[in-house]
Amino acid sequence: MDTYPHTSEIFRTVSALPPAELAAFLAVAQYGGFRAAARESGLSSSALSHAVAGLEARLKVQLFHRTTRHVSLTAAGQTLFTRLTPVLADIADAIRDLSDYATRPNGLLRINADGIAAEQILKPLVLNFMRAYPDMHVEILCEKRLVDLAEDGFDCGIRTAELVPNDMVAVPIGPEQQHIVVGAPSYLNNAPPIYSPADLAQHRCIQLRMPTGVFYRWEFESHGKAIVVETKGGLILDNSRLILSAAIEGYGLGYVTKWAAEAALASSQIAQVLTDWTPPYPGLCLYYPKHRHMSTGMQAFVAFSRSIAQKMS
């Protein structure tokens, strides 16, 4: 059988006892008199005396022996004090714990990001953030399409600066990015030379299918001149990592981020072409709606992202 009284009984009992009267009783009992309790509580001796008298009247029992020189607990008063002290200490601890919970970053943070962007920020940003804030949970959903953060239930997104919507707060979180054209030596050694983007018409180019259904057009710039090229090729993929793999295998040319291609470049599995036509551009940004209330977790993530960005710059 449940040894605790029903919630409604607890409510009736506690609500019948004004908190000020209980507080006055505990203060007088703890400090051994009305004057000492008055000094500690900031209330007058008269106010404390009236509060204690009110509590005694409600309980129909005397709680203190009073003389002109001394105040002491009665047996009933000692029993009440002994029983109340640990209970109220537990209540105070519970309230402090709630305060910590409200101010300490906790809960779930949902991030929408491009796949390559997610790879770049996972170790330096997300994992280090979770080590710093162990009460946080982070979910990253990777997709190419830009989503409505609020409608789809995301706290923030991570994309290159040029893709961040104008109505968002954008926080730069990484170095410059660069898309490059790469091919394996086995392909390049047997293919026509490449001096300008126009030469791509003579090459097999691995196609990237966008979420909208169209092929991604390769973008180039040199000496202030920008060119967009619609390339051709029989292999169509929707994943940059697969494009890089196909280029390494010698199928044709791939248009990928230099960050993703670094290891293959260093090991000479692939080589970069059209170097002068692929300058760097602004890097990744954390972005979120301007006027949405931010949780403590999101506030901490933004602050942490800014600190990581300063270290990486």
Domain assignment of residue 220, yes or no: yes
Domain assignment of residue 1, yes or no: no
CA-angle at 251, arms to 250 and 252, nearest 5° = 95
Confidence of residue 285 (pLDDT cuts 50, 70, 90): very high
Residue that terminates a domain, selected from 103, 134, 161: 103
What's the CA gap between 294 and 155, in Å, rounded?
Answer: 8
What percent of the chain clears pLDDT 90, i.e. is strictly above it?
58
187 and 252 inside one domain: yes
Cβ neighbours, 10 Å, residue 298: 19
Q: How many residues does the chain have?
A: 313
Question: Can you give the pLDDT at residue 45?
Answer: 86
Q: Are 284 and 120 in contact (CB under 8 A)?
A: yes
Report which of 125, 253, 121 is spatially closest to residue 177, judged by C-alpha positions: 121
What's the CA gap between 202 and 14, in Å, rounded?
Answer: 86
What are the start-end ranges of the E strands in 86-162? 107-113, 136-142, 156-160
**6-20, 123-137, 170-184, 291-305: segment of lowest average pLDDT:** 6-20
- The separation between the first and the last C-alpha atoms of the chain, rounded to the nearest angstrom, is 64
Residue 140 structural domain: 107-174+283-312
List 183's β-bridge partners, or say none: 271
Residue 262 belongs to what H/E stretch? helix 258-266
129 has pLDDT over 90: yes
**Amino acid symbol at 176:** E
Number of domains in the chain: 3
Radius of gyration of the CA atoms of the chain, in A: 35
List 221's β-bridge partners, or say none: 226
pTM over 0.85? The answer is no
What percent of the chain clears pLDDT 70, i.e. is strictly above it?
92
14 or 207: which leads in pLDDT = 207
Confidence of residue 95 (pLDDT cuts 50, 70, 90): confident
Residue that terminates a domain, selected from 61, 80, 103: 103
Domain assignment of residue 2, yes or no: no
